[in-house]
Amino acid sequence: MTRRRWIADEVSGNRASLTGEHAQHLIRVLRAQVGQEFDIAAGGQVRRGRIVSIESDRVEFNLGDEVSAAAVVHLTLLLAIFKFDRMEWAIEKCTELGVFRIVPVIARRTDSHLAAAAVKRAERWRKIALQASEQSRRASPPEVSDPLKFAPAIGLPGTLRVVLAESEQQTPLRQALGSDPGQSQLLLAIGPEGGWTIEELDLFRSSGWISASLGPTILRAETAAIAATAIAVSEL
In this predicted structure, what is the pLDDT of residue 115?
Answer: 95
Contact 193/231 with Cβ under 8 angstroms? no
- Distance (Å, whole) CA 110 – CA 196: 10
Collapse the DSSP code of 77 into the 3-class scheme (helix H, G, I; strand E, B; otherwise coil) and give the result.
strand
Q: What percent of the chain has pLDDT over 70?
A: 97
- Distance (Å, whole) CA 110 – CA 14: 46
In this predicted structure, what is the pLDDT of residue 59?
Answer: 96
What average pLDDT does the segment 7-25 reach?
Answer: 92
What does the domain layout of the chain look like in residue ranges?
Answer: 5-67, 75-235
Q: Does the structure show a pLDDT above 80 at 233? A: yes
In this predicted structure, what is the pLDDT of residue 37?
Answer: 92
* Per-residue confidence band for 68, with pLDDT thresholds at 50, 70 and 90: confident
Task: Round the CA-based radius of gyration of the chain to a whole number and report it.
Answer: 20
Q: Of 1-5, 31-35, 222-226, which range is least confident?
A: 1-5
* 145-158: pLDDT as tens digits: 999 999 999 999 99
Instruction: Work out the angle at residue 156's Cα, subtended by the Cα atoms of residues 9 and 117, and round it to the nearest 5 degrees.
Output: 60
Contact 82/213 with Cβ under 8 angstroms? no
Collapse the DSSP code of 31 into the 3-class scheme (helix H, G, I; strand E, B; otherwise coil) and give the result.
coil
In this predicted structure, what is the pLDDT of residue 183?
Answer: 56
* 181-205: pLDDT as tens digits: 555 689 999 999 999 999 999 999 9
In this predicted structure, what is the pLDDT of residue 130?
Answer: 94
Determine the topology of domain 75-235 in CATH: Alpha/beta knot (3.40.1280)
75-235 shares the fold of 5-67: no
In this predicted structure, what is the pLDDT of residue 181?
Answer: 53
Domain 5-67: CATH superfamily, name plus number: Hypothetical PUA domain-like; domain 1 (2.40.240.20)
* 106-154: pLDDT as tens digits: 999 999 999 999 999 999 999 999 999 999 988 889 999 999 999 999 9
